Each structure stands twice: as structure tokens, then as C-alpha cells.
Chains A and B, each alone.
Chain A
Amino acid sequence: MSNTVTWLSGTVLDEETNCGLTELCKLCGINAETVQDMVSEGVITPREAAPQSYQFTYIEIRRVQTAVRLQRDLRINLPGCALALDLLEELDELRGRRKR
């Protein structure tokens, strides 16, 4: 067995990097129609609003993935997911503030 270790480098999903519709669909395993629904229900907000030139920051990937799980596991509809995501983010911020 060889002793060489391969160090993996990933992509940091930050607000600096954008992705288009096709990439978002591929990364999250959903179709364009679902993305469209998520945009109109406010689950995610594109940087570029016109559907043909949609640009999403990498931060939105988390919201999409969480929404997919909430829909699947808890049978929450998209407006409900949008609300849950906003509340979860607020909760996270408050918890962080309380720690200080």
C-alpha cells in the first residue's frame, strides 16, 4: 500500500461565486421547472431576475437542498419551505448572538 496521501480540495460555496440555471439543477438534482417554482415562491432569489439569464450565488444551493429535504421528509409545500428557511436563518443568527 502506498503512503502518499491525496489532499482533496473542494469548492467553497460562498456568495462570491455564481451559477446559472443548468449548474444549479445539476448540483441539486432538480429540474428547471422546480427552480422556477422555488424562485416564484421566494425559496431562492436569483441575482439576475430574467429566467434566461438566471444567476444564483452558491449560497442558494443550501436553501435549495434544504427545501428539497423539507418537501420530501415533512411534506412542506414551497411557500412553507420559504418561510421555514427564513425562520431557520433568523434562529441561527439569534443563537449565534446569544453565544457571545
Chain B
Amino acid sequence: MEYRDYYQILDVGRDATQDEMKKSYRKLARKYHPDVSKEADADSKFQELGEAYEVLRDPEKRAAYDQFGSNWQNGQDFEPPPNWDAGFEFSGAGYTGGAEGRGHSDFFEELFGRRQYGGASAAGFQDIHLKGEDQHAKIVIPLKDAFEGSKQVITLSKATIDHQGSVTTRPHTLHVTIPKGIVEGQRIRLKGQGMPGMGNAPSGDLFLEICFAENPFFHAEKRDIYLRLPVTPWEAALGATVTVPTLGGKVQLKIPAGSQGGRKLRLKGRGLCTAKNSGDQYVELRVVVPEASTDEQKKLYKEMAELMPVDPRAGMVF
């Protein structure tokens, strides 16, 4: 079991007052709140923080925690000495509330008890019926899977409640069908796949948010797919039919004569489509200028300059 340095987590000294801890907690809670923070480990940081504050703001728990001394490092291997909790009120009372819906570290559970719903005895527990909490998770899928629809296997940690009312978490594998034409940021609600309910009450729901994996060529904006397509100056000037990749395979695209770099051409219905909605693919032309390395090639560019004089900066008035 790893030692948790709650003072370090809460970013306060060991002699911090209630007021100092509250201030620090509020500040860090805003920083790491999963709905607000973009830090990759915001979820676990926020959970840690809640746990630290839960212990330190409670004078009983803080006193019990403090007796381990200040020589421990966060993450260090730790076993509490036998009978360490003698004389403290909370011992045997089980889970003490707060930080709803969030798990605790092994360290916390060893010291302050496992989570018990309502601290209920086996007999009392049967009379309590409470809907399980909703769970939220993100899933990263390739663009192609969103385009075609796919089947994904995901593993989440899921809590189970035994008949005593105590909670254990273990990995839980889910097989989920992702419908064709899902859009980034959209969520799928899986009814009854959240936390288990108490008594006869139903489980909560699982909300899966869709994220797209980075793709070297395509990117999605809502239902539309964007692709930058390199073309030669003569393809752009004279027009051409070129082969373009789409998420559904290669297609032929006609580049109109007289196109400039930056021109966007639309491939209708080649974006993320559902039965009701359709998206397009936009192809943005990027003109690639051939290098002039031989004398002959240089001569050709000079001839072009004479034949087709153009001032691309004519419109820049400043």
C-alpha cells in the first residue's frame, strides 16, 4: 500500500489552519475539476484532492493521520502499525461520507474503512433503495470507425456492491456498438451500465463520449471532413481529374481550370453521414511549386515570367 501525503496533495503545511486548507482546496478543485481542466490526469488528481481534504478537514481523522509522522513520502510503501486507530472515534464506523461517487485509495480505505452505503448493517441495507450513479467515460476511435460505424471493446472499472453494502471495484469489459456517422464530442447513453443501485433500485447509466484519434490526412469538423490535397501548378491552372482519398475509399475529383491554392472543393455526402444527416468532404488545394535545379528548368520559369506577367501583391495596399 502506498502512503498518501495529504498535506502535499492539498499544498499546505502540516500546521495549516482549517481556513488555509479550505482556500487551498477550493483553488486546486477549480484547477483540477474534470469538467474544467484539460490536464490529462485531472480525474485522478481531483479524486486525490477530495480524499486529502476529507481527511484533513475532519479533526479526528487528521489527528489519526498525523500520528504517522512527517517522515513518509507520497507513494512510499506503507503499512499502518497494529492498533494504530485505538482511541479514535471513527474506527469501525466504516465509510464516513463526502466525495460522493468517487473511489478512495487503498491507503484511505485501510485507515478509514471501505465505502459503505449509508454505513448500513446487512439487515438495514435491504430497506434502502437508491438509483446507482451515472458513470462518464471517453472513448477514442479512428475516424474511419466513425464513418463506417464500428464495434468497440472498452474496459472500465466498475463497482459492485455485495449484500453487506460494501463496494469493490474491478475492471469490467463492455462491447459497444458505435453507430455510423457519430460526431466528435457526441455522447452515447448506455442505460443501466453505470454504478449499481442499492436494494431494488436500478443501476445508473454510462455516458460514453466520442473522441477521434489524430489522422495524418483528414480532420473532422462536426459532420464534415477536411483534407489538404497537394496539386501541381499545371493541374491547378489547366484543370485535371485526380484521385483523392476519402474515408470511404478513393474517388475521382475534377479540379477546375484556373484554380488557386486554398480553393476548397466539395465532395458531397462523403463526410460523416447517418440515416438523417449527411456531411461532406472538403478538399483544399495546396499548390506545390516544382523546384528549378537545372538550367533548363530555370529557363522555363523565366519564360513563364515573361509570358504570364503577374503581380500577386497588387491588391495589398498599405
Chain A residues at the B interface, C-beta cutoff of 8 Å = 5-14, 16, 27, 29, 61-62, 65-66, 69-70, 72-75, 84, 88, 92, 95-96, 99-100
Q: Which of A9, A29, A65, A72 contacts B131 (CB 8 A)?
A: A29
A10→B226 contact, CB < 8 A = no
B193→A8 contact, CB < 8 A = yes
Q: In the assembled complex, which residues on chain B have CB atoms less than 8 Å from the CB atom of A74?
A: 26, 29-30, 33, 36
* Distance of B249 from chain A, by nearest CB (Å): 24
Q: In the assembled complex, which residues on chain A have CB atoms less than 8 Å from the CB atom of B185?
A: 92
Q: For the A-B complex with A9-B179, A100-B226 known, give 11 more contacts whose Cβ atoms are closer than 8 Å.
A: A7-B151, A9-B177, A10-B206, A12-B186, A13-B189, A27-B189, A66-B35, A73-B29, A74-B33, A95-B38, A100-B219
Q: In the assembled complex, which residues on chain B have CB atoms less than 8 Å from the CB atom of A9?
A: 176-177, 179
A7→B188 contact, CB < 8 A = no
Chain B residues at the A interface, C-beta cutoff of 8 Å = 26, 29-30, 33-36, 38, 46, 100, 131, 134, 136, 151, 174-177, 179, 182-183, 185-191, 193, 205-208, 219, 221, 226, 276-277
Distance A62 CA – B207 CA, assembled complex (angstroms): 10
B188→A12 contact, CB < 8 A = yes
B36→A88 contact, CB < 8 A = yes
Contact flag A12-B179 (CB < 8 Å), given A29-B131, A62-B187: yes
Would you list 14 pairs from A and B whose C-beta atoms are within 8 A, ordered by A residue?
Answer: A8-B174, A8-B190, A9-B176, A10-B206, A61-B187, A65-B134, A69-B33, A69-B34, A70-B35, A84-B36, A88-B35, A88-B36, A100-B219, A100-B226
